[in-house]
Structure 1
Amino acid sequence: MLKGNKTIIRAVEEDDIQDLYQWYNDQEVNLWSSGAWPLNTLHNKEQIAAKFLDGGPDIYRYSLLTENEQLIGSIGFKDINVPARSVSIYIVIGNKSYWGKGYGTDALITFSRFLFTQWNFHRISLDTWSENTRAIYAYQKVGFKIEGRQREARFVLGSYHDSILMGLLRNEFLELHGTKDYKVTGNL
Protein backbone atom coordinates (compact mmCIF):
# COMPACT_ATOMS: atom_id res chain seq x y z
CA MET A 1 0.00 0.00 0.00
CA LEU A 2 1.27 3.48 -0.87
CA LYS A 3 0.34 6.49 1.24
CA GLY A 4 0.41 10.05 0.02
CA ASN A 5 -0.67 13.14 1.91
CA LYS A 6 -4.35 12.72 0.93
CA THR A 7 -4.53 9.35 -0.80
CA ILE A 8 -3.82 5.65 -0.41
CA ILE A 9 -3.05 3.34 -3.34
CA ARG A 10 -3.54 -0.38 -2.81
CA ALA A 11 -4.28 -3.57 -4.70
CA VAL A 12 -7.81 -3.90 -6.06
CA GLU A 13 -10.06 -5.98 -3.82
CA GLU A 14 -13.24 -7.79 -4.73
CA ASP A 15 -15.27 -5.32 -2.64
CA ASP A 16 -14.11 -2.53 -4.98
CA ILE A 17 -15.77 -4.02 -8.06
CA GLN A 18 -19.27 -2.58 -7.50
CA ASP A 19 -17.97 1.01 -7.37
CA LEU A 20 -15.58 0.44 -10.30
CA TYR A 21 -18.48 -1.04 -12.28
CA GLN A 22 -20.62 2.05 -11.63
CA TRP A 23 -17.82 4.47 -12.56
CA TYR A 24 -16.81 2.65 -15.74
CA ASN A 25 -20.42 2.85 -16.87
CA ASP A 26 -20.93 6.50 -15.90
CA GLN A 27 -21.03 8.82 -18.91
CA GLU A 28 -19.53 11.85 -17.17
CA VAL A 29 -16.69 9.89 -15.52
CA ASN A 30 -15.78 8.26 -18.83
CA LEU A 31 -16.11 11.46 -20.79
CA TRP A 32 -13.39 13.11 -18.70
CA SER A 33 -11.24 10.04 -18.08
CA SER A 34 -10.98 8.90 -21.69
CA GLY A 35 -13.29 10.93 -23.89
CA ALA A 36 -14.55 7.61 -25.23
CA TRP A 37 -18.09 7.31 -23.91
CA PRO A 38 -19.72 4.91 -24.72
CA LEU A 39 -17.38 3.06 -27.09
CA ASN A 40 -15.00 1.54 -24.53
CA THR A 41 -17.44 1.38 -21.67
CA LEU A 42 -20.72 -0.31 -20.86
CA HIS A 43 -18.98 -3.33 -19.36
CA ASN A 44 -20.90 -5.76 -17.19
CA LYS A 45 -19.75 -6.45 -13.65
CA GLU A 46 -17.99 -9.69 -14.62
CA GLN A 47 -15.96 -7.87 -17.30
CA ILE A 48 -14.94 -5.19 -14.79
CA ALA A 49 -13.97 -7.86 -12.24
CA ALA A 50 -11.86 -9.70 -14.82
CA LYS A 51 -10.21 -6.46 -15.93
CA PHE A 52 -9.27 -5.38 -12.41
CA LEU A 53 -8.82 -8.62 -10.48
CA ASP A 54 -7.29 -10.87 -13.14
CA GLY A 55 -5.35 -8.11 -14.86
CA GLY A 56 -3.64 -8.64 -18.15
CA PRO A 57 -0.17 -8.82 -19.56
CA ASP A 58 1.84 -5.81 -18.45
CA ILE A 59 -1.13 -3.88 -17.10
CA TYR A 60 -1.09 -3.01 -13.42
CA ARG A 61 -4.27 -1.59 -11.85
CA TYR A 62 -4.75 -0.33 -8.31
CA SER A 63 -7.51 1.15 -6.18
CA LEU A 64 -7.30 4.78 -5.15
CA LEU A 65 -8.64 5.71 -1.71
CA THR A 66 -8.86 8.78 0.49
CA GLU A 67 -6.79 8.99 3.68
CA ASN A 68 -9.96 7.64 5.42
CA GLU A 69 -9.86 4.59 3.12
CA GLN A 70 -12.90 5.50 1.02
CA LEU A 71 -12.56 4.19 -2.53
CA ILE A 72 -12.63 7.10 -5.00
CA GLY A 73 -11.03 5.75 -8.17
CA SER A 74 -8.27 3.76 -9.80
CA ILE A 75 -4.73 4.32 -10.99
CA GLY A 76 -2.31 2.14 -12.90
CA PHE A 77 0.39 1.69 -15.50
CA LYS A 78 0.99 -0.20 -18.74
CA ASP A 79 3.11 -0.14 -21.90
CA ILE A 80 6.32 -0.96 -20.05
CA ASN A 81 9.42 -0.41 -22.18
CA VAL A 82 12.24 -2.13 -20.30
CA PRO A 83 15.24 -0.89 -22.35
CA ALA A 84 14.02 2.72 -22.22
CA ARG A 85 12.78 2.35 -18.62
CA SER A 86 9.51 4.04 -19.54
CA VAL A 87 5.86 3.43 -18.79
CA SER A 88 2.41 4.94 -19.42
CA ILE A 89 0.05 5.72 -16.55
CA TYR A 90 -3.63 6.47 -16.09
CA ILE A 91 -5.81 7.77 -13.28
CA VAL A 92 -9.59 7.89 -12.90
CA ILE A 93 -11.34 9.65 -10.02
CA GLY A 94 -14.71 7.93 -10.25
CA ASN A 95 -16.31 9.50 -7.19
CA LYS A 96 -17.27 12.92 -8.55
CA SER A 97 -17.49 14.51 -5.10
CA TYR A 98 -13.67 14.30 -5.00
CA TRP A 99 -13.10 16.08 -8.31
CA GLY A 100 -11.12 19.32 -8.14
CA LYS A 101 -9.97 18.82 -4.54
CA GLY A 102 -6.35 17.74 -5.07
CA TYR A 103 -6.84 13.99 -4.65
CA GLY A 104 -5.77 13.24 -8.22
CA THR A 105 -2.68 15.42 -7.94
CA ASP A 106 -1.66 13.79 -4.64
CA ALA A 107 -2.21 10.30 -6.07
CA LEU A 108 -0.17 11.12 -9.18
CA ILE A 109 2.71 12.48 -7.09
CA THR A 110 2.63 9.41 -4.83
CA PHE A 111 2.37 6.96 -7.72
CA SER A 112 5.02 8.71 -9.83
CA ARG A 113 7.40 8.70 -6.87
CA PHE A 114 6.80 4.95 -6.51
CA LEU A 115 7.40 4.30 -10.21
CA PHE A 116 10.58 6.40 -10.30
CA THR A 117 12.13 5.16 -7.05
CA GLN A 118 10.91 1.55 -6.70
CA TRP A 119 10.47 0.48 -10.33
CA ASN A 120 13.41 2.64 -11.44
CA PHE A 121 11.60 4.09 -14.44
CA HIS A 122 13.27 6.98 -16.23
CA ARG A 123 10.15 8.33 -17.94
CA ILE A 124 6.39 8.31 -17.40
CA SER A 125 3.94 9.27 -20.12
CA LEU A 126 0.20 9.77 -20.39
CA ASP A 127 -2.32 11.22 -22.78
CA THR A 128 -5.69 12.91 -22.63
CA TRP A 129 -7.94 14.80 -24.99
CA SER A 130 -7.65 18.54 -25.66
CA GLU A 131 -10.85 19.61 -23.88
CA ASN A 132 -9.84 17.92 -20.62
CA THR A 133 -8.20 21.08 -19.32
CA ARG A 134 -8.75 20.20 -15.65
CA ALA A 135 -6.68 17.01 -16.08
CA ILE A 136 -4.00 18.79 -18.12
CA TYR A 137 -3.63 21.37 -15.34
CA ALA A 138 -3.35 18.64 -12.67
CA TYR A 139 -0.75 16.77 -14.74
CA GLN A 140 1.27 19.97 -15.14
CA LYS A 141 1.18 20.55 -11.35
CA VAL A 142 2.81 17.14 -10.94
CA GLY A 143 5.48 18.13 -13.48
CA PHE A 144 4.24 16.58 -16.73
CA LYS A 145 5.03 18.59 -19.83
CA ILE A 146 3.07 18.67 -23.07
CA GLU A 147 5.28 16.89 -25.58
CA GLY A 148 2.99 16.61 -28.54
CA ARG A 149 -0.43 16.68 -30.04
CA GLN A 150 -2.11 14.19 -32.30
CA ARG A 151 -4.54 16.14 -34.43
CA GLU A 152 -8.15 14.97 -34.28
CA ALA A 153 -7.14 11.62 -32.77
CA ARG A 154 -10.10 11.43 -30.36
CA PHE A 155 -13.75 11.24 -31.33
CA VAL A 156 -15.81 12.58 -28.44
CA LEU A 157 -19.58 13.05 -28.54
CA GLY A 158 -19.70 13.45 -32.30
CA SER A 159 -16.65 15.72 -32.75
CA TYR A 160 -12.95 15.18 -33.32
CA HIS A 161 -10.49 16.49 -30.71
CA ASP A 162 -6.73 16.47 -30.45
CA SER A 163 -4.96 13.98 -28.21
CA ILE A 164 -2.48 15.68 -25.87
CA LEU A 165 0.69 13.68 -25.16
CA MET A 166 2.50 14.45 -21.91
CA GLY A 167 5.67 13.16 -20.29
CA LEU A 168 7.66 13.40 -17.07
CA LEU A 169 11.31 12.50 -16.52
CA ARG A 170 12.68 11.13 -13.26
CA ASN A 171 15.13 14.01 -12.67
CA GLU A 172 12.41 16.61 -13.30
CA PHE A 173 10.05 14.91 -10.85
CA LEU A 174 12.65 14.48 -8.10
CA GLU A 175 13.75 18.09 -8.49
CA LEU A 176 10.15 19.23 -8.08
CA HIS A 177 8.94 16.77 -5.41
CA GLY A 178 11.93 14.87 -4.03
CA THR A 179 11.40 11.57 -2.22
CA LYS A 180 9.89 13.02 0.96
CA ASP A 181 6.53 11.81 2.29
CA TYR A 182 6.96 8.48 0.56
CA LYS A 183 5.48 5.62 2.59
CA VAL A 184 5.07 1.99 1.59
CA THR A 185 3.39 -0.60 3.78
CA GLY A 186 2.80 -4.21 2.84
CA ASN A 187 2.70 -5.30 -0.77
CA LEU A 188 1.29 -3.36 -3.65
Structure 2
Amino acid sequence: MLKGLKTSIRPIEEDDLDEIYQWYNDQEVNLWSSGAWPLNTLQSKDQLAVKFLDESPDTHRYIILDENERLIGTIGFKEINIPARSVALFVVIGDKNYWGKAYGTDAVITFARYLFSQWNFHRISLDTWDQNIRAIKAYEKVGFVIEGRQREARYVLGNYHDAILMGLLREEFLALHGKI
Protein backbone atom coordinates (compact mmCIF):
# COMPACT_ATOMS: atom_id res chain seq x y z
CA MET A 1 0.00 0.00 0.00
CA LEU A 2 1.27 3.47 -0.87
CA LYS A 3 1.02 6.05 1.92
CA GLY A 4 0.71 9.79 1.47
CA LEU A 5 0.09 12.48 4.06
CA LYS A 6 -3.70 12.23 3.76
CA THR A 7 -4.29 9.25 1.49
CA SER A 8 -3.34 5.65 0.89
CA ILE A 9 -3.45 3.83 -2.43
CA ARG A 10 -4.00 0.11 -2.86
CA PRO A 11 -5.14 -2.32 -5.56
CA ILE A 12 -8.87 -2.37 -6.30
CA GLU A 13 -10.78 -5.27 -4.76
CA GLU A 14 -14.11 -6.76 -5.74
CA ASP A 15 -15.75 -5.29 -2.61
CA ASP A 16 -14.90 -1.79 -3.91
CA LEU A 17 -17.11 -2.11 -7.00
CA ASP A 18 -20.38 -1.02 -5.37
CA GLU A 19 -18.82 2.29 -4.34
CA ILE A 20 -17.17 2.78 -7.74
CA TYR A 21 -20.52 2.05 -9.42
CA GLN A 22 -22.13 4.79 -7.33
CA TRP A 23 -19.48 7.28 -8.44
CA TYR A 24 -19.91 6.32 -12.09
CA ASN A 25 -23.62 6.99 -11.74
CA ASP A 26 -23.19 10.41 -10.17
CA GLN A 27 -23.67 13.15 -12.75
CA GLU A 28 -21.46 15.67 -10.96
CA VAL A 29 -18.58 13.22 -10.45
CA ASN A 30 -18.69 12.26 -14.13
CA LEU A 31 -18.99 15.83 -15.29
CA TRP A 32 -15.84 16.98 -13.52
CA SER A 33 -13.81 13.79 -13.92
CA SER A 34 -14.24 13.43 -17.65
CA GLY A 35 -17.08 15.55 -18.95
CA ALA A 36 -18.61 12.25 -20.03
CA TRP A 37 -22.04 12.45 -18.42
CA PRO A 38 -24.12 10.37 -19.15
CA LEU A 39 -21.87 8.11 -21.25
CA ASN A 40 -19.97 6.60 -18.30
CA THR A 41 -23.19 5.74 -16.49
CA LEU A 42 -24.26 3.40 -19.27
CA GLN A 43 -21.87 0.74 -17.97
CA SER A 44 -23.31 -2.14 -15.94
CA LYS A 45 -21.71 -3.42 -12.76
CA ASP A 46 -20.41 -6.37 -14.77
CA GLN A 47 -18.77 -4.04 -17.29
CA LEU A 48 -17.20 -2.04 -14.46
CA ALA A 49 -15.92 -5.26 -12.89
CA VAL A 50 -14.15 -6.11 -16.15
CA LYS A 51 -12.78 -2.57 -16.43
CA PHE A 52 -11.53 -2.35 -12.85
CA LEU A 53 -10.64 -5.92 -11.88
CA ASP A 54 -9.32 -7.66 -14.98
CA GLU A 55 -5.59 -7.52 -15.40
CA SER A 56 -4.50 -5.40 -18.32
CA PRO A 57 -0.93 -4.88 -19.48
CA ASP A 58 -1.85 -1.38 -20.61
CA THR A 59 -3.96 0.04 -17.78
CA HIS A 60 -3.36 -0.14 -14.03
CA ARG A 61 -6.11 0.99 -11.62
CA TYR A 62 -6.01 1.52 -7.86
CA ILE A 63 -8.29 2.76 -5.10
CA ILE A 64 -7.66 5.89 -3.02
CA LEU A 65 -8.41 5.75 0.72
CA ASP A 66 -8.58 8.54 3.30
CA GLU A 67 -6.86 8.44 6.72
CA ASN A 68 -9.61 6.15 8.05
CA GLU A 69 -9.34 3.78 5.07
CA ARG A 70 -12.62 5.02 3.58
CA LEU A 71 -12.81 4.70 -0.22
CA ILE A 72 -12.74 8.14 -1.79
CA GLY A 73 -11.58 7.67 -5.39
CA THR A 74 -9.55 5.88 -8.00
CA ILE A 75 -6.19 6.54 -9.61
CA GLY A 76 -4.14 4.78 -12.22
CA PHE A 77 -2.01 4.92 -15.31
CA LYS A 78 -2.16 3.88 -18.95
CA GLU A 79 -0.44 4.50 -22.29
CA ILE A 80 2.87 3.14 -21.07
CA ASN A 81 5.71 4.06 -23.41
CA ILE A 82 8.75 2.05 -22.31
CA PRO A 83 11.34 3.59 -24.69
CA ALA A 84 10.34 7.13 -23.70
CA ARG A 85 9.72 6.10 -20.06
CA SER A 86 6.42 7.97 -20.09
CA VAL A 87 2.89 7.24 -18.93
CA ALA A 88 -0.53 8.89 -18.72
CA LEU A 89 -2.12 9.32 -15.29
CA PHE A 90 -5.82 9.49 -14.41
CA VAL A 91 -7.53 10.21 -11.11
CA VAL A 92 -11.09 10.62 -9.84
CA ILE A 93 -12.15 11.65 -6.36
CA GLY A 94 -15.56 10.00 -6.39
CA ASP A 95 -16.68 10.95 -2.89
CA LYS A 96 -17.68 14.62 -3.20
CA ASN A 97 -17.18 15.15 0.55
CA TYR A 98 -13.45 15.11 -0.20
CA TRP A 99 -13.48 17.68 -3.01
CA GLY A 100 -11.48 20.85 -2.40
CA LYS A 101 -9.66 19.42 0.63
CA ALA A 102 -6.34 18.43 -1.04
CA TYR A 103 -7.01 14.68 -0.99
CA GLY A 104 -6.67 14.49 -4.77
CA THR A 105 -3.46 16.50 -4.68
CA ASP A 106 -2.01 14.23 -1.99
CA ALA A 107 -2.99 11.10 -3.93
CA VAL A 108 -1.40 12.42 -7.14
CA ILE A 109 1.83 13.36 -5.31
CA THR A 110 1.95 9.92 -3.68
CA PHE A 111 1.24 8.13 -6.95
CA ALA A 112 3.68 10.26 -8.97
CA ARG A 113 6.41 9.44 -6.45
CA TYR A 114 5.61 5.74 -6.99
CA LEU A 115 5.65 6.06 -10.79
CA PHE A 116 8.97 7.92 -10.79
CA SER A 117 10.69 5.69 -8.21
CA GLN A 118 9.31 2.18 -8.74
CA TRP A 119 8.49 2.29 -12.45
CA ASN A 120 11.40 4.62 -13.29
CA PHE A 121 9.26 6.83 -15.53
CA HIS A 122 10.76 10.07 -16.77
CA ARG A 123 7.48 11.78 -17.65
CA ILE A 124 3.84 11.67 -16.57
CA SER A 125 1.10 13.24 -18.66
CA LEU A 126 -2.61 13.79 -18.14
CA ASP A 127 -5.46 15.73 -19.64
CA THR A 128 -8.69 17.34 -18.53
CA TRP A 129 -11.19 19.73 -20.04
CA ASP A 130 -10.88 23.50 -19.93
CA GLN A 131 -13.68 24.15 -17.41
CA ASN A 132 -12.19 21.80 -14.80
CA ILE A 133 -10.29 24.62 -13.11
CA ARG A 134 -10.18 22.89 -9.69
CA ALA A 135 -8.35 19.89 -11.21
CA ILE A 136 -5.98 22.08 -13.23
CA LYS A 137 -5.01 24.01 -10.07
CA ALA A 138 -4.50 20.75 -8.13
CA TYR A 139 -2.30 19.32 -10.90
CA GLU A 140 -0.25 22.53 -10.94
CA LYS A 141 0.33 22.19 -7.17
CA VAL A 142 1.82 18.76 -7.87
CA GLY A 143 4.09 20.32 -10.52
CA PHE A 144 2.24 19.58 -13.77
CA VAL A 145 2.63 22.22 -16.48
CA ILE A 146 0.10 23.01 -19.17
CA GLU A 147 1.78 21.88 -22.38
CA GLY A 148 -0.99 22.40 -24.86
CA ARG A 149 -4.60 22.25 -25.73
CA GLN A 150 -6.66 20.30 -28.19
CA ARG A 151 -9.27 22.64 -29.54
CA GLU A 152 -12.86 21.54 -29.07
CA ALA A 153 -11.78 17.96 -28.33
CA ARG A 154 -14.37 17.40 -25.59
CA TYR A 155 -18.13 17.52 -25.93
CA VAL A 156 -19.66 18.39 -22.57
CA LEU A 157 -23.35 19.10 -21.95
CA GLY A 158 -24.01 20.06 -25.54
CA ASN A 159 -20.95 22.26 -26.03
CA TYR A 160 -17.44 21.71 -27.33
CA HIS A 161 -14.56 22.38 -24.94
CA ASP A 162 -10.80 22.30 -25.27
CA ALA A 163 -8.81 19.45 -23.76
CA ILE A 164 -5.97 20.74 -21.59
CA LEU A 165 -2.78 18.66 -21.88
CA MET A 166 -0.43 18.68 -18.91
CA GLY A 167 2.93 17.07 -18.18
CA LEU A 168 5.33 16.51 -15.30
CA LEU A 169 8.99 15.54 -15.60
CA ARG A 170 10.86 13.61 -12.95
CA GLU A 171 13.30 16.45 -12.20
CA GLU A 172 10.41 18.94 -11.85
CA PHE A 173 8.75 16.64 -9.32
CA LEU A 174 12.01 16.25 -7.38
CA ALA A 175 12.52 20.02 -7.28
CA LEU A 176 9.08 20.50 -5.69
CA HIS A 177 8.72 17.42 -3.52
CA GLY A 178 12.24 16.28 -2.67
CA LYS A 179 13.74 12.85 -2.99
CA ILE A 180 11.85 9.95 -4.50
Aligned to 1:113: 113
| TM-score of the superposed pair, with normalisation by structure 1 | 0.94
Q: Which moved more, 1:83-92 or 1:44-53?
A: 44-53
Q: Does 1:46 align with 2:46?
A: yes
SS in 1 for 2:84: coil
Aligned to 2:155: 155
Equivalence map 1:121-140=2 (5 Å): 121-140=121-140
Using the alignment, how far apart are the partners of 2:139 and 2:158 within structure 1?
26
Shift of 1:78: 0.1
RMSD in angstroms over aligned alpha carbons? 0.9
- For 1:96, give the aligned amino acid: K
For 2:97, what is the secondary structure of its paired residue? helix
Which runs of no fewer than 5 residues in structure 1 stay unpaired? 181-188
Q: SS of the counterpart of 1:52?
A: helix
CA distance in 2, matches of 1:115, 1:86: 10
The CA distance in 2 between the partners of 1:138 and 1:41, in whole Å, is 25
What percent identity do the matched residue pairs reach?
73
1:55 CA displacement: 3.7
Aligned equivalent of 1:177: 177
* Residue in 1 that maps onto 2:101: 101
1:74-125 alpha-carbon deviations (Å, 9 max, x no partner): 0000000000000000000000000000000000000000000110000000
Shift of 1:25: 1.6
Matches within 5 A, 1:3-22: 3-22=3-22
Shift of 1:165: 0.1
Tell me which residue corresponds to 2:144: 144
In the TM superposition, structure 1's runs of 4+ consecutive aligned residues that sit over 3 Å from their partners are: none
Aligned residues: 180
Partner of 2:62: 62
Contact 2:24–2:40, Cα closer than 8 Å, also in 1: no
In the aligned structure 2, how far is the partner of 1:179 from the partner of 1:157? 42
Distance (Å, rounded) in 2 between the aligned partners of 1:117 and 1:3: 14
Paired letter, 2:52: F
TM-score normalised to structure 2 length: 0.98
Structure 2: gaps (5+ residues) = none
